[in-house]
C-alpha cells in the first residue's frame, strides 16, 4: 500500500487503484486479488475459508464482549481496541482442542489468554493502579468481588495532570458466545479525592447469576475527574481512564 500525499485526498477507485482512508491516514493500493466466488468454492482455498470463519467468530465474540461492558468501555478505550481484542480472542479460538479448524470457538478455548487485557493502551491499569487487590468469583452465590488493600491515592494511583478526583469500578459479565447474550453486574466507589488521605481496605462486589456455568470475565477500571466550582468533570474526555480484564473463569 502507498500513502497519499498532497492537498487533495481521494476515496474510491480510479484506473485500477483503490484510494481509501484508515486510522493511519489516506492510503492507496492496486485493486486486484482472487474473486470471492473462487475463495468460497475452490478446494485450494480450504484453509483460507477456515481462517476466515474463525476470524469472523473472533470478531463476533469481541463485539459481544465490548457490548457487555459498554457502560465502562465508552470512556476507557483506545482507537485500536477493537482490532487488539479480536486478535486476542483469535488466540483463544486457536487454543480450542475440541473442534476442527474453521469450527473452533472461544468458549472451548483457553480464555485465560485474555486475562490482563488492557482496553486502553493510553492509560493501562497495570501502570496506573499500584494498590494490591485480589479478584475472586463465587459461582454458588454469583458474586464477583475485588478486595482492595488500604492505600493513599496520591501515592498508589498515577493520575494525569489536572486530576482532583477518581473512581474505581468493578464489572462482571457472564458471556454466552453461542447465543450472543450476556449478563452484567457492576459496583463502583463514590468519586474520591486524589489525595494523601488513606482509604481503608474495601471490597467491591458485582452480582451475577447463581450457579452459572457460563464463562465469566471481570474487569477493573479507574476514571479520573477534575473538580471545578463544585462540579466533577471527566478529565480529558476519558483519554487516560483505565480498564483491564482482571479475572477470567471457565467451568
40 pLDDT band (50/70/90 cuts)? low
pLDDT > 90? residue 22: no
- Domains of the chain, by residue range, sit at 1-32, 115-249
- What's the pLDDT tens digit per position in 179-227? 999 999 999 999 999 999 999 999 999 999 999 999 999 999 999 999 9
User: Is the per-residue pLDDT at 99 higher than 70?
Assistant: yes
Can you tell me the distance from the alpha carbon of 133 to that of 155, in angstroms, rounded to the nearest whole number? 15
127-166 tens-digit pLDDT: 999 999 999 999 999 999 999 999 999 999 999 999 999 9
Do 241 and 76 touch, CB atoms closer than 8 A?
Answer: yes
Residue 84 has pLDDT above 80, yes or no: yes
The answer to whether residue 39 scores a pLDDT higher than 70 is no
| Range 60-78 burial, b when 16+ CB lie within 10 A, else e | bbbebbbebbeebbebbbe
Highest CATH level, class, for 115-249: mainly beta
C-alpha distances (whole Å) from 58 to each of 83, 90, 112, 145, 214 are 10, 5, 15, 28, 17
Mean pLDDT, rounded, of the chain: 91
Q: Which position has the grid cell 479448524? A: 101
pLDDT at 13: 74
Please give the pLDDT value at position 61.
97
**How much of the chain exceeds pLDDT 70, in percent?**
90
Give the residue-averaged pLDDT of 66-93: 96
The residue that leads in pLDDT, 251 or 170, is 170
Q: What is the predicted pLDDT for the residue at 41?
A: 67
Specify the pLDDT at position 45: 72
64 with 86: CB under 8 angstroms?
no
pLDDT at residue 34 is higher than 70 = no
Residue 231 has pLDDT above 80, yes or no: yes
Which cell is 172 given?
A: 462482571
Amino acid at each position: 500500500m502507498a500513502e497519499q500525499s498532497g492537498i487533495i485526498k481521494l476515496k474510491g477507485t480510479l484506473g485500477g487503484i483503490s484510494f481509501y482512508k484508515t486510522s493511519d491516514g489516506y492510503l492507496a493500493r492496486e485493486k486486484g486479488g482472487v474473486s470471492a466466488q473462487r475463495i468460497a468454492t475452490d478446494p485450494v482455498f480450504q484453509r483460507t475459508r477456515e481462517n476466515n470463519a474463525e476470524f469472523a467468530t473472533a470478531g463476533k465474540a469481541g463485539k459481544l464482549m465490548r457490548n457487555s461492558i459498554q457502560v465502562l468501555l465508552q470512556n476507557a478505550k483506545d482507537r485500536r481496541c477493537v482490532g487488539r481484542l479480536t486478535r486476542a480472542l483469535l488466540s483463544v479460538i486457536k487454543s480450542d482442542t475440541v473442534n476442527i479448524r474453521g469450527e473452533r470457538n472461544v468458549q472451548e478455548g483457553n480464555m485465560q489468554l485474555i486475562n490482563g487485557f488492557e482496553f486502553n493502551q493510553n492509560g493501562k491499569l497495570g501502570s496506573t493502579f499500584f494498590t494490591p487487590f485480589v479478584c475472586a468469583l463465587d459461582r454458588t452465590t454469583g458474586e464477583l468481588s475485588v478486595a482492595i488493600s488500604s492505600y493513599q491515592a496520591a501515592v498508589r494511583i498515577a493520575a494525569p495532570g489536572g486530576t482532583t478526583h477518581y473512581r474505581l469500578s468493578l464489572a462482571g459479565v457472564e458471556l454466552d458466545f453461542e447465543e450472543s447474550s450476556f449478563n452484567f453486574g457492576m459496583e463502583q466507589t463514590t468519586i474520591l479525592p486524589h489525595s494523601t488521605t488513606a482509604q481503608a481496605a474495601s471490597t467491591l462486589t458485582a452480582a451475577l447469576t447463581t450457579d452459572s456455568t457460563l464463562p465469566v470475565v471481570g474487569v477493573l477500571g479507574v476514571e479520573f475527574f477534575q473538580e471545578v466550582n463544585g462540579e466533577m468533570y471527566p478529565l480529558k474526555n476519558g483519554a487516560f481512564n483505565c480498564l483491564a480484564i482482571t479475572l477470567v473463569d471457565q467451568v
